[in-house]
């Protein structure tokens, strides 16, 4: 995977390289953070999945060392199911070289209380994933952000008659799309030609800075993204990337590098500006996110942690506790959100005697 490859971060539902396993991976995550959280661009750079036939597992590196991880708590495990189905469809012999599309609609991150996403705001926009498989069991992927304003029109353009019915219920819509990858029967060049036959001025996405991206601009970004050539407005190499080489990632690097990026963009957006993607328009403030209290492991995986930190208004919880029946650990309830408290054990189904019983157990 090339240096220019940018992995999705907080704005993307699927995070193909979440785990911080090396300085190189951390470096690329920071670049993606700049592109998609701060600049809030609608198209990602290319990334790849690698399928191992012997056991059906999907990896994020060609050496099969880092297995793909998608949080099973995210959208009831459908996020994981959807990406697996899409990759398998793209790698089917009759589909090689042709685009498979998977759509993750806007809406809730989780369908049930008691997860790490309890205080994470719903995804404000949709993500359309384009995948192309080859004979080496590699699926190249690219993600496109679709705003809610013209969502149906844009989906019609990309997916055509295969898109199916409309939905009034957000959960039903999410379930349908995540369980239904679309085979477009076009290679990437044919898809671009198809997209160019529509009104180039249709707005695909308006970001948190108020910049609207038209279909014509998104098509041009798809061309660049497929080559891994979308770069941040600021020069990250010049600012600090060279300082990473030969170093581990101690705690103080978190504060230093995040704030280096955030501060560098003050010349572009001013001293206070909204953050995009899964941060849902959170305004940049050094005081709001307590990086000085965190270690590198606290932000691993990076995107999940960023969403949780940036979107939590009050994340105070009771202590973790054990189910009195199966004795498995349950995360402590949110003190200020009693409507999210467990009424039964998420592991064994044991019903608590009263709604606040959960808060009365503690883990030894």
Q: How far apart are CA 166 and CA 151, in angstroms?
A: 11
Q: How many CB atoms lie within 10 A of CB 195?
A: 18
328's CB contacts (< 8 A; 6+ apart) are 322, 345, 347, 348
pLDDT at 4: 28
pLDDT at 51: 93
pLDDT at 165: 72
CA-closest candidate to residue 313, choices 279, 341, 275: 279
Q: How far apart are CA 50 and CA 63, in angstroms?
A: 9
Q: Which two tokens stand for residue 302?
A: 């990076």
Can you say whether residue 185 is alpha, beta or left, with left for phi > 0 and alpha for psi between -120 and 50 degrees?
left
43's CB contacts (< 8 A; 6+ apart) are 142, 143, 144, 145, 218, 221, 222, 224, 225, 230
**Contact of 214 with 202, CB cutoff 8 Å:** yes
Rounded (10°) angle between helices 170-178 and 78-90 = 30
- Residue whose entry in the numeric block shows the structure tokens 């004979």: 135
Q: How many CB atoms lie within 10 A of CB 172?
A: 11
Mean pLDDT of successive 10-residue stretches along the chain, which has 364 residues: 29 39 62 83 91 89 83 84 94 96 91 77 89 95 92 93 77 93 95 97 92 96 93 79 53 62 82 66 52 46 45 56 82 61 76 55 36
pLDDT at 356: 47
pLDDT at 71: 77
Count how many residues are written for the chain.
364
pLDDT at 76: 85
pLDDT at 27: 66
**Contact of 320 with 299, CB cutoff 8 Å:** no
pLDDT at 318: 73
């Amino acid at each position: 995977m090339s240096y220019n490859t940018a992995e999705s971060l907080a704005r993307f539902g699927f995070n193909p390289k979440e785990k911080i396993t090396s300085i190189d991976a951390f470096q690329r995550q920071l670049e993606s953070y700049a592109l998609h959280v701060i600049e809030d661009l609608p198209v990602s750079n290319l990334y790849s999945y690698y399928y191992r036939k012997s056991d059906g597992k999907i990896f994020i590196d060609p050496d099969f060392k880092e297995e793909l991880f998608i949080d099973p708590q995210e959208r009831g495990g459908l996020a994981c199911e959807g990406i697996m189905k899409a990759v398998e469809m793209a790698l089917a012999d009759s589909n090689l070289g042709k685009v498979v599309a998977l759509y993750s609609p806007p809406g809730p991150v989780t369908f049930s209380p008691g997860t790490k996403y309890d205080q994470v705001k719903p995804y404000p926009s949709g993500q359309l994933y384009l995948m192309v498989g080859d004979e080496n069991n590699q699926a190249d992927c690219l993600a496109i952000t679709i705003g809610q304003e013209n969502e149906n029109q844009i989906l019609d353009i990309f997916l055509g008659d295969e898109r199916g019915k409309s939905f009034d219920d957000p959960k039903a819509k999410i379930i349908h799309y995540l369980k239904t990858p679309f085979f477009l029967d076009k290679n990437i060049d044919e898809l671009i030609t198809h997209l160019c036959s529509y009104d180039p001025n249709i707005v695909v996405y308006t970001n948190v800075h108020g910049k609207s991206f038209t279909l014509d601009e998104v098509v041009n970004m798809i061309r660049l993204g497929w080559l891994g050539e979308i770069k941040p407005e600021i020069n990250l190499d010049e600012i600090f990337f060279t300082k990473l080489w030969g170093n581990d990632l101690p705690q103080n690097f978190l504060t230093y590098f995040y704030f280096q990026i955030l501060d560098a963009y003050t010349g572009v957006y001013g001293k206070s500006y909204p953050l995009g993607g899964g941060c849902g328009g959170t305004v940049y403030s050094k005081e709001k996110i307590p990086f000085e209290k965190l270690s590198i492991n606290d932000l691993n995986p990076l995107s999940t942690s960023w969403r949780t930190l940036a979107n939590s208004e009050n994340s105070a919880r009771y202590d973790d506790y054990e189910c009195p029946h199966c004795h498995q650990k349950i995360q402590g309830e949110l003190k200020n959100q009693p409507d999210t408290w467990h009424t039964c054990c998420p592991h064994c189904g044991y019903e608590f005697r009263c709604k606040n019983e959960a808060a009365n157990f503690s883990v030894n």
